[in-house]
Structure 1
Amino acid sequence: MNGTDPRWIFDDVTAWVADLIDTLSDADWARPTPCDRFDVETLARHLVAVLDRTAVVFSGGDPTPLPRLAEGVATADLARAFRDRIPVTRATMTDTALTGTVVVPPGITVPGAVGVLRQSGEIAVHGWDLATARGASGGEPEEAAVAILAVADQIVPAGPDFRDDPQIPFERAVTPADDAAALERLANHYGRRSRPPVLTAGASS
């Protein structure tokens, strides 16, 4: 493919998230995250499942029926499970897949290149969730976030017709702070409140 090939975005985002998961300790698993459906452990399980679902997307299948959390993986093995799936998933992103169409959750057909951005965006925002839960910073894939932001309204529309659909797991977009960097702005687009209070109300760390 040419210079518009988006696969570098997937590479940058997954490498960053893999490093984040590698740093998780036993004390982190029960921490709340800005994604109020998941604590750190279940979010890590979801990220492993996202890679499984993404592999199905680019293999020509519909990932909608697949589990949203990785099953049969011990908590201690989640970091390895995520890292091991990256090259497997990446290999499904062939030139043919990117120039055709794919089905992304929840059953939406998009151009293959857009599908890479859609799936990478979800992984990036959940990486932001993990980093925020741990108070970690550094190494954020800001260039990738800029690229995803450029098509954010196409891959995850901000309008209520999309966000209020019960099948869509994203809250309405949040207005970013003037000084927000690209990854924070992307998280805001996906409905995350990135300035205090960030974590779910009533949650304990």
Structure 2
Amino acid sequence: MKTALVAGTTGLVGEKLVRELIKSNVYEKITLISRRETGFSEEQSVHERLVSFDDLAKDEDCFATDDIFVCLGTTLKKAKSKGQFEKVDYEYPVKMAQLAKKQGASRFLIVSAIGADPESSFFYSKVKGRLEEALIMLRLPSLHILRPSLLLGSRNEFRLGEKTAEVLGKPLSLALVGPLEKYKPVKAEHVAMVMCALAQEESSGIHIYESDRIRHLGKVLEEKPM
């Protein structure tokens, strides 16, 4: 059996991912790194590690694992400044990737975003693009970058902008066909299922998954008999 580490476990994708990893019965140990307790501590295979993301080097030993899943992400409103946003969405994931490489982790899987582009005029997309660029430059043994569109699912926290986009996006998604299909909303549960499945593949190098491919793979996995 394998071991895994998950960062961003209190978010929409992260919470569903942990449940998916537990259900898979592939991992004998799943380490969750977080600032606060996550609520998964009663699960036998789950081990919580409370950390300071500003000083991850203190906990670098937990990066000596098979698969590392990063689902960290915030919003400008919640971060309250561009600097703090960059810290959460760029600096922390890059540091995790550096520690993953140092500790010999086999696979690094991360949730980015549709439209990620280091040259983008949109701050959010630019930060995500810079993140992807930095991760690729690290030459990790196996790097999987997922670029979902608008995420569908119930959050622990209410985000007005995302909820509004979700309500308006459902009817509009019918018109998103062909090249526009990748902009259709995608279930957070599907992103989690795809991340778990990809980690079981013997792959090396860089792999990028656009939202339409995530949606397709998620539907296939959902319909797959148990």
Q: Give me the TM-score of the superposition, normalised by structure 2.
A: 0.30
Bigger Rg, structure 1 or 2? 2
Higher relative contact order (CA closer than 8 Å, sequence separation 6+): 1
More strand by proportion, 1 or 2? 2
